[in-house]
Amino acid sequence: MNLLRPHQWIKNLLILFPPFFGGLLLYHDTIYLVVPAVLVFSAAASSSYIINDIQDASVDKNHSKKKNRPIACGEISKVQAMSISIALFSISIISSFYISGVLWMYILAYLLISLSYTFFFKNVVILDIFFISAGFMIRVLAGGAIFNIEVSHWLFLTVFLVSLFLASGKRLAELLEMGTKAAAHRKSLSNYNPSFIEGVLWFAASAALVTYSLYTIEEKSALFYTVPLTAFGLLRYIYIVKTGVGDPTDILLSDGQIMTTGIVWAIAIGIIKYGT
């Protein structure tokens, strides 16, 4: 099961952002698509994770945590892993036609971005974090297409900047955690200056807070009062990254303060959007 990285599936909840912020998530025409849409995208994501692990098996052995991944530690062969990846991809594409007439295009776009990152851009400075961000953006756009909801420009920019923030935080944490061994794990890390990537982190956090604030103002509702929660979450993530931990999913699932902030933020938006 670890081969599929199920803990990373939480990222696929971004598909629900358009209907959630649009106040339509609980509508009958929307809610019955929620679980199938997330599961289909999760299958596609796991397919790409497996290919990434196959490609990185040798360098993952140099990482304190990634060396325990099923392919890196020899628990499963590359041939077996590739067979599972192909099966997951096939399932996601075939199933997508039953959910939405356009979902298959977003799944293909996501896989193209993921494969381009894995084989070409993972070790290219700056482009690597942009390709990571593109994967987040595809999820949001897919959600808008599936549920036939126009994605707000401010929401689009906010998700892009937050994903850039998370990706740069992950890179900074890798530099801090691995030190002189960082380049052996990922070539691009040898070209990243810690002060530069920290600058990107602060830039993305600041810009994201501004665009989210503008989005809440555009909504002309009490949504504006969730801005302080957002600011706290961004600052808490930066604080944790500086300790050498940067995987967004791991932080969300392990840090009590960020998890609580996220839950309160979601509940507050839910009350504002659906409580009246």
Residue 163's pLDDT is 95
Beta-carbon contacts of residue 108 (< 8 Å; ≥ 6 apart): 93
Same domain, 174 and 234: yes
pLDDT in tens, 151-167: 999 999 999 999 999 99
- Residue 200 predicted with pLDDT over 70: yes
- How many C-beta neighbours within 10 Å does residue 143 have? 28
Q: Give residue 89's domain range.
A: 10-124
Task: Answer whether residue 139 is part of any domain.
Answer: no
Tokens of 236: 């808490």
- Rounded Cα distance between 16 and 8, Å, is 16
State the pLDDT confidence band at 249, using cuts at 50, 70 and 90: confident
Positive or negative: CA dihedral 107, 6, 52, 167: positive
Residue 182's pLDDT is 58
pLDDT in tens, 165-186: 999 998 888 888 776 565 556 6
Boundary-marking domain end, from 81, 105, 124 = 124
| pTM for the full predicted model | 0.90
Q: What is the mean pLDDT of residues 238-247?
A: 84
Average pLDDT, the chain: 89
Domains in the chain, number: 2
Residue 240's pLDDT is 92
- Residue 85 predicted with pLDDT over 70: yes
Residue 202's pLDDT is 96
Q: Are 241 and 173 spatial neighbours (Cβ–Cβ below 8 Å)?
A: yes
Q: What is the mean pLDDT of residues 108-137?
A: 93
Beta strands in 49-203 (DSSP E): none
Same domain, 95 and 163: no
